[in-house]
Amino acid sequence: MIQFMEKGRLVTVWPSLKKDRPVVYLNTFEDEGERVHKELGTEPASDFTLVAISGLDWNHDMAPWDIPPIFEGDTACTGGADDYLGLLMGEIMPRAEKEVRGRILWRGIAGYSLAGLFAVYSLYRTEVFSRAASMSGSLWFPGFWEYVVSHELKREPECIYFSLGDRECRTGNPYLRVVQERTEEIEAFYRGKGMDTVFQSNPGGHGKNTVRRTAEGIAWILER
């Protein structure tokens, strides 16, 4: 395991023990990268390089554009995703990939909640990632469905994984209650274009088994 700081973000790298393997970038809310790495188990975890980034300005770095607070006491999202993506590609990735043995087979992007939204959004902004995993992604985000259907992906990804808790839409909040509808619509939209996608429904709400759900999504894109 190797760690370094970059512009206030903590970057942790678990290099693959093998040459010419994939690299998956995981943006985290509570520095759960180590727990995800352990959850994957010895064999899958040794077969790729995991790069986990924590210390994010969550509602800024992961948000594609500004939206007001979605419930009382919440903080607004201020669209800093493009700036953060520039930091990720321009400074974090070159340092992290110095630890990679041989060539990089492919790069993936993964995340939970707002980071799941960011994972999908990044496919519209860069060709760097060829696989993505969005676990309980905030695909309810106002305007995102419209963005998906009106913009072109920078490259057609090899595969995209979507998952959601089956109770996440059971809320009176008008933003959050559409999350399952939007997730299923987006997954079906990509599948209709011939892409390799899946939608996995998990028992429970947004905060249940987050580490396991994240590991399952990463495992899926690794196995394709």
Query: What is the CATH number for 142?
Result: 3.40.50.1820
Within 8 A by CB and 6+ apart from 210, the residues are: 32, 112, 135, 136
> CA nearest 213: which of 199, 222, 202, 197?
202
Q: Specify the pLDDT at position 114.
A: 98
Within 8 A by CB and 6+ apart from 15, the residues are: 2, 49, 99, 100, 101
Q: Specify the pLDDT at position 33.
A: 96
DSSP assignment string, 89-132: IIIIHHHHGGG--S----EEEEEETHHHHHHHHHTTT-SS-SEE
Q: Specify the pLDDT at position 73.
A: 85
Residue 187 near residue 162, CB atoms below 8 Å: yes
Q: Specify the pLDDT at position 46.
A: 79
Q: Specify the pLDDT at position 125.
A: 98
Residue 12 sits in which domain range?
A: 2-223
Question: What domain count does the chain have?
Answer: 1
Q: What is the mean pLDDT of each run of 10 residues along the chain (224 residues)?
A: 97 95 97 95 85 98 96 92 98 97 97 98 98 98 98 97 96 94 98 97 94 97 94
pLDDT tens-digit series, residues 173-214: 999 999 999 999 999 999 999 999 999 999 999 999 999 999
Q: What is the pTM for the complete model shown?
A: 0.97
Q: Specify the pLDDT at position 209.
A: 93
Q: Specify the pLDDT at position 42.
A: 78
Q: Specify the pLDDT at position 153.
A: 98
Burial of 40 (0-12, 13-18, 19+ CB in 10 A): buried
